[in-house]
């Protein structure tokens, strides 16, 4: 596991915890019944999309992706 991947996971976990706490607080103190259902759908969608982003991050071949950004000097190219 790279340090960048660990930081990404920590950021996503922190973001999910804070946004879920905000939505839970609004559920308890402010929202109507229909808004409670919508916010539950929001939380489920956020968890699903967060997991999907982590799994898609794992599928990327980062070595070949970064090689695509390497530039060659003009003397090595054939015209």
Q: Classify residue 65: in a domain, yes or no.
A: no
pLDDT, residue 76, reads 57
Any domain includes 76? no
Domain that holds residue 37: 20-57
pTM: 0.48
Which tens digits make up the pLDDT trace of 18-39?
A: 887 887 787 778 777 777 788 7
Report if residue 27 sits inside a domain. yes
Burial of 1 (0-12, 13-18, 19+ CB in 10 A): exposed
For residue 23, how many other CB atoms are within 10 A of its CB? 19
pLDDT of residue 6: 77
Total structural domains within the chain: 1
pLDDT tens for each residue of the chain, 79 residues long: 577 777 887 888 888 888 878 877 877 787 777 777 887 788 788 778 877 877 777 777 767 767 777 765 556 555 5
The answer as to whether 3 is a domain residue is: no
Residue 73 lies in a domain: no
Q: Does residue 12 lie in a domain region?
A: no
């Amino acid at each position: 596991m790279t340090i960048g991947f660990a930081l990404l996971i920590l950021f996503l976990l922190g973001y999910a915890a804070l946004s879920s706490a905000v939505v839970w607080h609004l559920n308890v103190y402010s929202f109507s019944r229909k808004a409670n259902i919508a916010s539950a759908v929001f939380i489920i969608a956020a968890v699903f999309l967060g997991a999907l982003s982590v799994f898609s991050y794992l599928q990327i071949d980062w070595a070949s992706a970064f090689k695509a950004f390497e530039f060659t000097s003009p003397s090595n190219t054939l015209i």
